[in-house]
Amino acid sequence: MTYTGPMERIEALRPDMQAWRRDLHAHPEIAYQEERTSGLVAEKLRAWGLDVHTGIGKTGVVGTLKGRHPGERAIGLRADMDALPLQETNTFEHRSQNEGRMHACGHDGHTAMLLGAAKAMAEAPEFAGTVHFIFQPAEEGEAGARAMIEDGLFQRFPVESVWGLHNWPGQDVGTFDVRPGPIMAATDTFRITLTGHGGHGAMPHLGTDVVTAAASLVSAAQTIVSRTINPIDSAVVSVTMIHGGEAFNAIPSTVTLGGTARSLSPQVRDTIEQRLGEMAHHIAAAHGVSAEYHYQRRYPPTVNAPDETALAVEVMRSIVGEANVNPDGQPTMGGEDFAFMLQEKPGCYVRLGAGPGQAGCMLHNTGYDFNDDILTLGATYWVRLVQRLLGPDAPPA
Ligand SMILES: [Zn+2]
Ligand SMILES: [Zn+2]
């Protein structure tokens, strides 16, 4: 590891951050139920002298820290707090104490790193302006970022830019990865219900068959990406559920298909939504059955602003050196609700390497655990980012 070393204050907080992180890991809470977690966050921020606001987007918390020097500029740093509805399989001491709940995405670590940064900056607020520490609920599928925005996040706490990070197993410890433009995908869901006249499995000619229609539709859906999307663009259409039928000898009268669609641009997203609907209706018609089509746009793509990304790259290089920052990372087709914040404000979402991810230690795996070795790196990134944006040598906005 070649990074030049985080600031002493952050280094001294390492044992604290690890203790907070493991305590959060042992007490995971899922979307909008983060009562204990947000309570702990608020209590600590208050103890360190921040101005704390709770109940934003149900369980969201914002801690506001003013710099020692006067300044009009303000930025937002964001961490997510929620866990997943999974049963942890780890057996170490800090394993989940909550049945069917698990920090399998490292949001315990994200929360601990941002807390560490808040404490370090509260002890030495050597900047001009305001930092809002945003702790959001419900990142995992329930749009906690949007809930906070709808609850007036950026009216109550105006910021010029907003910043996020995620730990990334499979990427070396001591490295950062980012890219300008889309870095995570739009994550949509669809449900198609085919309805016909079921009947005897031996007399298909007396009814209509939703099963063969469903089979055609599943295959045809795969041609949306291969035949209608520009090969240079990225997209995924996955049918992940097929429900229908109860008896060996009876053709059912309904089959329901469900799945997910991923895309990195609005045009591709529109095309998938439209084509899948056309296919559902026309393939159903070809089989003499009817289709009901529901397409739900969930998270938008997570799009990094070019200027903020260039600045993040500069900050990351100052911590781990040029060789350990990839400014041209690949987007992934996973989703991230920080996307909603980036729709409102320019900013940047970076990936912090968490190590090889051996023995199932991958995101959303029941054997995952956040790598405590990166707590100081993440916290250092936050502190350096504030110094770069609001510190004495910061260029004018
Ligand atoms: Zn996750
Ligand atoms: Zn996550």
Three-class SS state of 258: strand
21 C-alpha to ligand 1 centroid (Å): 16
Specify burial of residue 188 (Cβ count, 10 A radius: 0-12, 13-18, 19+).
buried
224 C-alpha to ligand 2 centroid (Å): 29
166 C-alpha to ligand 2 centroid (Å): 6
335 C-alpha to ligand 2 centroid (Å): 9
Q: Which amino acid, 355?
A: G
168 C-alpha to ligand 2 centroid (Å): 9
Query: Whose atoms come closest to the Cα of 365: which ligand?
Result: 1
Report the pLDDT averaged over residues 111-128: 95
The confidence band for 7, taking pLDDT boundaries of 50, 70 and 90, is low
Distance CA 145, CA 126 (A): 29
pLDDT of residue 196: 98
Please determine, for residue 148, whether its predicted confidence score (pLDDT) is greater than 50. yes
Query: Whose atoms come closest to the Cα of 187: which ligand?
Result: 1
Strands (E), 60-171: 60-66, 69-80, 128-136, 161-168
124 C-alpha to ligand 1 centroid (Å): 33
Three-class SS state of 318: helix
Report the pLDDT averaged over residues 305-333: 97
pLDDT of residue 397: 59
Please determine, for residue 6, whether its predicted confidence score (pLDDT) is greater than 60. no
The mean predicted confidence, pLDDT, of the chain is: 95
CA angle 62, 66, 71 (to 5 degrees): 125
Instruction: Give the bridge partners for 166, in sequence order.
Output: 351
pLDDT of residue 392: 76
Please determine, for residue 5, whether its predicted confidence score (pLDDT) is greater than 60. no
Residue 222 Ramachandran class (φ > 0 left, ψ -120 to 50 alpha, else beta): alpha
Strand 161-168 relative to strand 181-184: parallel, antiparallel, unpaired?
A: unpaired
**Residue that has been written with the tokens 């109940």 in this structure:** 55
Percent of the chain surpassing pLDDT 90: 93
388 C-alpha to ligand 2 centroid (Å): 26
Residue 94: closest CA among 109, 81, 84, 116: 109
105 C-alpha to ligand 1 centroid (Å): 5
Residue 16: closest CA among 107, 98, 135, 120: 120
Q: Which residue has the higher pLDDT, 9 or 240?
A: 240
**Residue that has been written with the tokens 């889309």 in this structure:** 182
Three-class SS state of 291: strand
CA angle 224, 230, 235 (to 5 degrees): 55
Please determine, for residue 181, whether its predicted confidence score (pLDDT) is greater than 90. yes
Report the pLDDT averaged over residues 85-99: 97
Report the pLDDT averaged over residues 280-296: 98
Q: Could you read off the pLDDT of 188-215 as tens digits, one per residue? A: 999 999 999 999 999 999 999 999 999 9
Catalytic residue ranges: 82, 139
**Residue that has been written with the tokens 């929360």 in this structure:** 111
Query: Whose atoms come closest to the Cα of 166: which ligand?
Result: 2
140 C-alpha to ligand 2 centroid (Å): 7
Kindly report which listed range (67-76, 182-191, 335-344, 354-363) carries the lowest average pLDDT score.
354-363
pLDDT of residue 395: 63
pTM: 0.92
pLDDT of residue 357: 77
pLDDT of residue 146: 98
The confidence band for 2, taking pLDDT boundaries of 50, 70 and 90, is very low
69 C-alpha to ligand 2 centroid (Å): 34
17 C-alpha to ligand 2 centroid (Å): 18
> Could you tell me the two tokens for 221?
């859906």
Specify the DSSP class assigned to residue 294. Answer: E
